Structure 1
Amino acid sequence: MSGAHDLGPVPTRLTVDVEVVRRLIAEQFPRWSDLPVHPVADGGWDNFTFHLGPQMSVRLPSAAEYALAVEKEHRWLPRLAAQLPLPVPTPLGRGEPGGGYPFAWSVHRWIDGEPATADRTTGGTVDPVRFGLDLADFLTAVQRVDPTGGPPPGVHNWFRGGTLRTYDATAQEALDALEGRIDTALAREVWATALGARWNHVPLWFHGDVAGGNLLLRDGHLAAVIDFGTCGVGDPSCDLAGAWTLLDAAGRKAFRDRLGVDDGTWARGRGWALWKTLATCAAAVDRDDEASAGAHRVLDAILEDHEADRGSSR
């Protein structure tokens, strides 16, 4: 898995409202047409998500690029679900374009839970060490699923599981924009270390987007994992990014030890966290808002973790 790819421009997103969803359900799943439809708060970027009655959700890709995941999820989620220790989305119906909406879409069983925000997982309502261990156990189970025939990195998942060099241009542009605002010399070192840590192992399953909104909590524990739109088979280091975005130092150590990853995989995981954090910081230059502050906190954690590793290897 070598070589870079042109990610192209950010996809042009559609707008989908409740009336579109009601029309699609009535046309394609009339048995559910009497159920109420309500938008989900913070329903995600790749998909618009709606409640369908009390026990189902409707997910409509917001752009053509995101719609590539629909067939993949319907094919692979049932196989993955049978082998994972936590609930994951169960496809109940595959919708087709219609009613003014141009892409394939899905009906899934609804899973209750609160998103695992950093405020919760770094000493709020959640024990960060326990959360780190539970997340590691889930990802270990994902990696143990037979990868035969699984989808390799590609446009369908923005090349998650492939080489970090895909994102080199984005990272370098962000570093240039942040010159004088962060320790760019250290950040460049972190990025170079990640690029230099090559993946030479058997491809494994990965989730591809281990972000707080996709990790659901109940009673202070990791209870479910949703949104497998970027899943695939390849280098699972992309799934380590949550170690810096969601965990404190103690939780991160527990997570790393439980997974038992080698230093190269950890360095690549740090790279996956870094490129997106740099892009967020660069986009928020001269802004003093929650998103900017959060990105800088993550950046600090990444740089400190790299320095600690560098110090321990001397």
Structure 2
Amino acid sequence: MHDDQVDVTTETVATLIQEQFPQWSGKPIRLLSSTGTVNAVFRIGDDLSARFPLRLADPAKTLAVLEQEAQASAELAQVCRFPVPEPVGLGKPGAGYPMPWSVQTWLPGTVAFEADPSGSDDFAEDLAAFIAALRDADTRGRSFRGQGRGGVLTDHDEWMATCFEESEGLLDVDRLRQMWSHFRELPRKGADVMTHGDLIPGNVLVAGDRLSGVLDTGGFGPADPALDLVGAWHLLQSGPREVLRRRLASDDLEWERGKAWAFQQAMGLVWYYAETNPTMSALGRRTLDRILQ
């Protein structure tokens, strides 16, 4: 998926486990089929998973990111009633793999890409309860760290210009440029709250038509209160989307800013993963379609 991607095999993972976590030696190791774009994920036995960053980066910087993600995941687990992975350990480079890596608890369930809950009011209620619980968590004086989605919309103008250029021939770029011209002008109101930051189908687990767990919690942190509303567009059809909005009491401005963050994310998915991750590209198209409607 990426020009700087590092391949990881089950043999490499088995060697790393044997050398660094011998207490888990002998457990079956299985590469998980995943739409994920950041990590290769391996299941270790029945109750653990190992995550290996896909893009080559400085090991010291990668370790700092993994340590921060572990801390964030542990903090989120304390404020959320829904199951989330909890950090277990950090591995070191070795066996030909050049970066640190992480181990978490394994959560049962089916990702929302496979068990689509988009038409369920009950799922929308659960998703709203999850977002509300995070919003109620104490920021402890922290504010948005200034990277990625969740800060100032106009900070993403350069990226959006790239997306529009790369999307020529794939999307109705003229119409989408007009939409971004509207979105980027939406004023910010309200202090930062704690957010998940990436509520897409691949990060949500479903049992029946209910939310059974949330993955990729390492981005838990302070951001725009509208940020987690991306889930309304990535995960829900129009009826359940209104259920979530009512449950969270989102006013018109917050709702539009949530739509803006979903738009920003979706625009990047369509063209970047058009050949290498068709499921993620299709997610971007579906989200844009929902916004355009």
Count of aligned pairs between the two proteins: 286
Structure 1 range deviating more: 72-81 or 49-58: 72-81
Distance 1:149 1:29, change over 3 A: farther
1:142 aligns with 2:134: yes
In the TM superposition, residue 185 of structure 1 has moved relative to its aligned partner by 5.0
Q: Which residue of 1 aligns with 2:224?
A: 235
1:167 aligns with 2:156: yes
1:86 aligns with 2:101: no
Q: Which residue of 2 aligns with 1:249?
A: 238
Q: Deviations over 1:277-307 (max 9, x none)?
A: 2334445889xx7766654332221022xxx
Residue from 259, 265, 284 that aligns with 1:276? 265
Give 5+ residue unaligned stretches, structure 1: 1-9, 305-314
In the TM superposition, residue 192 of structure 1 has moved relative to its aligned partner by 2.5
Residue from 240, 260, 266 that aligns with 2:255? 266
Residue from 42, 48, 65 that aligns with 1:50? 42
Counterpart secondary structure, 2:266: helix
The alignment's TM-score, normalised by the length of structure 1, stands at 0.81
Q: Deviations over 1:191-221 (max 9, x none)?
A: 2232222324222111111010110011221
User: Hey, what's the Cα distance between the residues in 1 that align with 2:42 and 2:279?
Assistant: 26
Q: Which residue of 1 aligns with 2:196?
A: 207
Letter matched to residue 50 of structure 2: V
Counterpart secondary structure, 2:49: strand
Structure 1 range deviating more: 248-257 or 262-271: 262-271
Distance 1:150 1:170, change over 3 A: same
Contact 2:69 2:219 in 1 (8 A): no
Distance 1:110 1:13, change over 3 A: same
Contact 1:118 1:247 in 2 (8 A): no
User: Hey, what's the Cα distance between the residues in 1 that align with 2:280 and 2:74?
Assistant: 35
Contact 2:115 2:206 in 1 (8 A): no
Q: Deviations over 1:99-133 (max 9, x none)?
A: 3222222111100111112872234xxx2x22111
Counterpart secondary structure, 1:51: strand
1:116 aligns with 2:125: no
Distance 1:262 1:54, change over 3 A: same
Q: Which residue of 2 aligns with 1:38?
A: 30
Q: Deviations over 1:229-262 (max 9, x none)?
A: 3332121322211212221110111111111123
Contact 2:72 2:219 in 1 (8 A): no
Alignment root-mean-square deviation, CA: 2.7
Give 5+ residue unaligned stretches, structure 2: none
Letter matched to residue 234 of structure 2: T
Contact 1:118 1:245 in 2 (8 A): no
Counterpart secondary structure, 2:52: strand
1:187 aligns with 2:183: no
Residue from 23, 38, 59 that aligns with 2:15? 23
User: Hey, what's the Cα distance between the residues in 1 that align with 2:206 and 2:77?
Assistant: 18
In the TM superposition, residue 181 of structure 1 has moved relative to its aligned partner by 6.8
Q: Quick one: percent identity of the two aligned structures?
A: 35
The alignment's TM-score, normalised by the length of structure 2, stands at 0.86
Q: Which residue of 2 aligns with 1:101?
A: 97
Structure 1 range deviating more: 95-104 or 182-191: 182-191
